[in-house]
Structure formats: C-alpha cells, structure tokens
Structure 1
C-alpha cells in the first residue's frame, strides 16, 4: 500500500505543488488542509503514516501539532517545512521529536529523500538549516554530550550517519551486542526515552557537535 500522507500549508501554491508532486510519485495523499486545526483533526481521524506541515499556519502551528501528537502518542511521523531559519523553531522541533525539517526553498528537491528516510525511522534535517545556523553563531552544545566516552561518541556519530548496529559493528570490528550495550549507555546518559528512534533523532539533529 502506498504511503499515506496528510499535507497542510496556508500557502495555496505550496499546498498544491506538494500535493501534485507527491501524487505523481504514487504517494497516497489522504487529506490536505490550510490551517492547523483542520490538519490536526485529519491526523487524528485518518492516522496517516506521515504529516507534512507548514510551521506557521493559522489556528495551530506545525510545531503545536507536533507537540499535540507527541503528547497524545499519535504514531504519525511529522515533517515540518518552513521559510524560517530561527534557532527557537529548530530547538522546538528537536524537543517534539519531529522526524523531518526542511526549508521550503528546497522542499520539492528534498521531500522524497526526507520521506524515504522518515519511513525507515531515520530523521532527516535539511543540511541547509544546520549550515545556516552554524554560520550565524548557533552552537548550542547538547546536554549530556560531555558524559559520553570516546567510544560512545564514535558510535553516536555513526548513528547520525544513519548506520545500523550491524553497520557499526562491522566498521568498528566489534560485536552487535557490544554496539547495543553502548547504545543503551548513551540513551541513559543523554536521558532519552527508550523508543528505538529516539537516539537516531537526537544524533541526527546534533551531528554538528559530534
């Protein structure tokens, strides 16, 4: 079955453009909306695999929807699209375990890659955003990073490159059991929850510090 997607954007051209593009790629667009309340209601009702949301929308922002989905344990994976390059929005996206975060300028170019990563439980944050924030002095060091050993840092960096435990074991010439033990220690030190994707998301959005 084709991937089910809800799209929400209060800019008609962006909404139509993404809908037409993804439909042409055989994704199943089950609903669309131009405001946050309608978008959230569609997510609750239709339970799509993915929701692609504009960050700034009337009634509910994309971030508020992501927060509500997290609070209510909804399984829909959130991808945010935006023209903004603000640190505060980026930080909130990380806090709400958003799976994808891309700039509208590159939405059509990146959205397929983003969706493919998200469907495989690999977070995708546009490199353009990270580069812009770093260039403009954004350098918030994530909490808990100093607690990691050299081995744990190395493994975390490999996780940020979307490598599996099998990949990491082969590259470092250690057993998968050893990799998984390191992963457990890293999760504990960073105070992450035990969801399988939590460490991957954390590593991806903080990879400039690794």
Structure 2
C-alpha cells in the first residue's frame, strides 16, 4: 500500500506544488487543508500515515495541530514546513513530537527523505535547518540573577502577589521584598512595580 498523506498549507500554490510533487513520488494524498482546523478534522477522519503541516495557518497553526494530536494520542506522524528559524520554535516542535521540521526553501530537496524517515519511526531535521537556526542567547542581565531570584521574577510576570510567592518558596513576604530589591539593583531598574513586571514579561521565555 502507498503511504497516505494529508497536506495543510494556506498558500494555494504551495499546496498544489506539494501535492503534485508527492503524487509523482507515488504517495497517496488523501486530503488537503487550507487551515489548521481543517487539517485536524481531516487527520481525525482519514488517520493518514503522515500529515505535512505549514507552521503558520489560519485558525490553528501547525504547532497547534501537533499539540492536539499529542494530547489525543493520534499516531499520524507530523512534518512541519516553515520559514521560521527561531530555535525556541524548533525546540517546541520537537517537544510536541514532530518527526520533521523543514525550511520551505529546502522542502522539495528534503521532504521525500523526511517522509521515509518518519515512516520508519525516525525523526529528520536537516543540516540546513541547524545551520540556519537563530540561536537565542540568554540576556546577560538574567545571568546575574540567582535561581531563586529568577523564580521570583518569573512569578511576578505571572501576576503573583508577594504572599503567593512567599508561600510557594516557603519564605517570608519580607524575604520576597528583599529579593525584589536585590533584583532591581542587579537589573538597574527603578523602584516601581511596573518596571519589574515589564522586565518579567519581556524576558519570560528565559526565566523558565
């Protein structure tokens, strides 16, 4: 039997090109979708071997679909197509269990290999991708904070009160306030609560 595939991309030319390319390679394209919601419906209905998903689609993104599939235990193996070169996005895709993450400019060069790898239960992340990823460096200011101070800042970014933070860390409210003072000094922030919460929200991805 030919491997069954669902393709989802909101760009008609990309969708058409991928369908023709894979059909010529003897894959069975069972359905096409123009947004993530349609893709999810088709994956549930057809249970294809492979789903090829554009990362940026209306209603639900490719990663939204991956998250739902993981939550529902769907066995379809997912391959992400993207122009997205941020390391954090790639790592999220890996965490969600995708079998491939391919930059669109290399799609026709890498897609067939990626599909066969996925069918054999192996992931495929091309060398071109790893070279292209924009590695997001931890800001130097955050490196100045102790692990406890990072937790305090992260909690502030989640709008938690000093008492809530104190309870979570099993320390006194007074100690939390001392941590806040030290943090402001290290980060060269003014004494307003808004300055601290603004920093916490801006750099939340580095405070996990």
**TM-score band, normalised by shorter chain:** 0.5 to 0.7
**2:10 is paired with a residue of what secondary structure?**
coil
State the shift of 1:126 in Å. 2.0
1:56 aligns with 2:56: yes
Name stretches of at least 5 consecutive residues in structure 2 with no aligned partner.
139-208
**1:51 is paired with a residue of what secondary structure?**
strand
Q: For each residue in 1:166-194, what CA deviation from the matched residue of structure 2 results, as whole angstroms up to 9, or x when unmatched?
A: xxxxxxxxxxxxxxxxxxxxxxxxxxxxx
After TM superposition, list the pairs within 5 Å mapping 1:123-202 onto structure 2. 123-133=123-133, 136-138=134-136
Change beyond 3 A, Cα 1:63–1:137: closer
Provide TM-score, normalisation by structure 2: 0.64
Aligned to 1:35: 35
What is the root-mean-square deviation in Å for CA atoms of aligned residues? 1.3
Aligned to 1:7: 7
Distance 1:82 1:66 in 2: 14
State the shift of 1:86 in Å. 1.4
**Native 8 Å contact 2:9 2:15 kept in 1:** yes
**2:32 is paired with a residue of what secondary structure?**
strand
Provide TM-score, normalisation by structure 1: 0.63
Distance 1:123 1:138 in 2: 23
Structure of higher CA gyration radius: 2
Aligned to 2:85: 85
Change beyond 3 A, Cα 1:139–1:50: farther
Structure 1 stretches of 4+ with a deviation exceeding 4 A read none
Paired residues, number: 138
**2:37 is paired with a residue of what secondary structure?**
helix
**1:78 is paired with a residue of what secondary structure?**
strand
Distance 2:124 2:19 in 1: 20
Distance 1:108 1:12 in 2: 16
Distance 1:132 1:83 in 2: 10
State the shift of 1:78 in Å. 0.3
State the shift of 1:137 in Å. 3.8
Aligned to 1:23: 23
Q: For each residue in 1:46-90, what CA deviation from the matched residue of structure 2 results, as whole angstroms up to 9, or x when unmatched?
A: 000000000000011000000000000000000000011012211
**1:121 is paired with a residue of what secondary structure?**
coil
Distance 1:19 1:42 in 2: 15
Distance 2:76 2:109 in 1: 23
Q: For each residue in 1:4-31, what CA deviation from the matched residue of structure 2 results, as whole angstroms up to 9, or x when unmatched?
A: 0000000111100000000011100000
